[in-house]
Chains A and B, each alone.
Chain A
């Protein structure tokens, strides 16, 4: 029960507006103290000293958890990609890339947002860490979309959604963890995720086209330069796209050619962005200094959230809330459609609050034997859960993508803009999820 009340408390305290990371930390401390008391009570005769010892003993696990974050080499993609994004932004190459791509759309509206989705998909293919791609996209394309009078909600929603593509387009941590839980080969799961990932990209783009067609003000077309013909500006745009796009292709190429692991490839991207900046004569001491300091701040913001969240999940598990969830899950119906719809709904709901890692290891193992008994194709089921968990990065109130983007967004972008912005994309996620449930064959599953 304490574990569940924690979420309510966190929700209320977050609204106060103190930094999210430390609010999570604080809620865990006060509820941790409460949980420690409840842990001791059944034995009777609890003294204040016992209580204090129990509490301290629980929190002395924090250094171990922090150390695990420190040693998680896959997270290194976060600073490396952020640095690349900031250098591209400061050297105005990002702007050139996006505006050129936008120009190619001519009078069609929403070009910048669509370009953002496409770049997000490319980044997604080179990292599986949400923090890395959301923040990099936030740095690269949010200011540009805002400058071109894009609607704040549409811009931030697009970035959060495009950034979380990294979790479904391989490589992806969600898929790796699920492969482990399902005991399926990682490679197979990666392959199975490609089409659903592409479908998401397609649906996002379609949505942007439709919404900007219906409501021109949310995503205006770029104004053509005075006196320049469309053909000429297309040529100019194509030339401008080449350098930064080469960079992204190099990053991807280094993974596919076996030169670097996905995480390592991010360092090549960072280095490449510096070289590009030098070619365009934008490289100087001030720029490098600012880029690295901003990277430090942003990376640390992500790190602090992870620290706060790990304290939170520690107390959640200590209080036995995981067992409540487990008991609940064992009572699911044993009939295919009821089971599928309910599990998807529950996972989506849990995703509002707890992180994908816990859902994967606490909830999924309970579902597996039931799914097996019903005869559900495990690969299909794994992808459905993956897509569902990917959405959990987007869902308020605790979707990490929202926090990450807020952390790098200009001051005029409010939390509410971002919350409003992701809602349509969450609906799109659900639609794609439903299409995989209803038409598994379309995506190559047995069902």
Chain B
């Protein structure tokens, strides 16, 4: 039989683990499972040089597959944000439940249909940290005029509270934070932050609220997928799901180790949670942002209602199962 040769373009450089891991693993598994009949060539940002063109290129058929993050397409359709993460949204397990067993998958199909691509979860970063701050945030007023790099919806929320949201290219972020050109920035979590070295130049590491479960995505060109024999379609779908799960685990493990290292090297770093009044103000601002989009975009309202009503149910179970167990472990002194 004719070999199937696909190309996959990913938003990241091919060395950027764990984000670059799902495509690499998927490609290796596909090759083995198909006895070398289904080859996926993975091209990182260093090869295609168009990190934010993935959706267009998969749609256009230059690549049969892509690996990226749904919120990069926020400028094309605001509803894409629901398939990545949103401020004060669901945790990874809650969100996966919504995807696969709630209405998530259905909505994702609706939103991505016009782009001519199929879309699949592509790995989760887990709960992201709120960012590295050079100064402590004690009151809502401390946020006014704070120069911070924070993209996406979270940036919009912060801007409502007077934060001076700043765009700085990733390559200049370290220097900018080091010199105080910006006061704060958000990145991912210990596993990925450690490579950027932010812990050397900012003392306060705030816990998250804005990206509780950032899901990456696989994009597949519709025509290419539909042409595949059924067995390869199944293999691919199973492979993507496994690769996504694998990234979630990989990043969790990376953060476990990275945090130990950061704490050891820089014991002065303080992990902080925003004070309750600040969090309340952020939540209020987030709701305002959602309201504004919902007023303009009926689909946004529909998905938002579904998402948060699912979250309400799911959170009860999360609390009963995970929260109280973690609480117990704290009371037993297993963790501080």
Contacts and interface: CB of A to CB of B under 8 A. Distances in A.
B171 A74 contact: yes
A28 to B, nearest CB: 14
Given A171-B172, A261-B168, A181 B13 contact: yes
Given A74-B172, A255-B175, A361 B196 contact: no
A374 interface: no
B57 A74 contact: no
Contacts of A328: none
22 contacts: A43-B2, A60-B60, A67-B50, A68-B51, A171-B175, A183-B15, A185-B194, A186-B174, A187-B200, A187-B201, A188-B197, A257-B179, A258-B179, A260-B181, A261-B181, A262-B172, A262-B175, A313-B49, A360-B46, A361-B46, A365-B14, A365-B15
A435 interface: no
Contacts of B52: 71
Nearest to A322: B47
Q: Which of A128, A187, A262 has the most CB of B within 10 A?
A: A187
A436 to B, nearest CB: 22
A68 B49 contact: yes
A186 B2 CA distance: 46
B120 to A, nearest CB: 23
A61 interface: yes
B14 A183 contact: no
Nearest to B175: A171
Contact of A65 (B2, B46, B49, B174): B49
A260 B147 CA distance: 12
B13 A261 contact: no
Interface in A302-325: 310, 313-314, 317, 322
Contacts of A187: 174, 178, 197, 200-201
Given A64-B50, A180-B13, 8 more contacts: A57-B62, A61-B48, A67-B53, A173-B171, A188-B200, A317-B43, A362-B47, A365-B15
Contact-residue size bin, chain B (C-beta under 8 Å from the other chain): 35 or more
Interface in B1-45: 2-3, 13-17, 43-44
Given A58-B62, A361-B13, A361-B44, A176 B171 contact: yes
A128 B169 CA distance: 13
Nearest to A261: B172
A314 B53 CA distance: 15
A74 B169 contact: yes
A74 B172 CA distance: 8
The 3 A-B residue pairs with the shortest CB-CB distance, nearest first, are A185-B197, A258-B180, A361-B46
Contact of A64 (B43, B44, B48): B48
Interface of A: 42-43, 57-58, 60-61, 64-65, 67-68, 71-74, 128, 170-171, 173, 176, 179-181, 183-188, 190, 255-263, 310, 313-314, 317, 322, 357-358, 360-362, 365
B168 A357 contact: no
Q: Which of B3, B49, B181 has the most CB of A within 10 A?
A: B49
Nearest to A186: B174
A57 B61 contact: yes
B176 interface: yes
Given A181-B15, A186-B197, A358 B180 contact: no
Contacts of B174: 185-187, 190
A188 B48 CA distance: 29
Nearest to A317: B47
Contacts of A57: 60-62
A42 B51 CA distance: 30
B179 A255 contact: yes
A170 B171 CA distance: 12
A250 to B, nearest CB: 15
A263 B166 CA distance: 14
Contact of A184 (B168, B178, B181, B195): B195
B14 A361 contact: yes
Contacts of A173: 171
A362 B179 contact: no
B56 interface: yes
Contacts of A186: 174-175, 196-197
Contacts of A72: 169
B156 to A, nearest CB: 21
A254 to B, nearest CB: 9
A64 B53 contact: yes
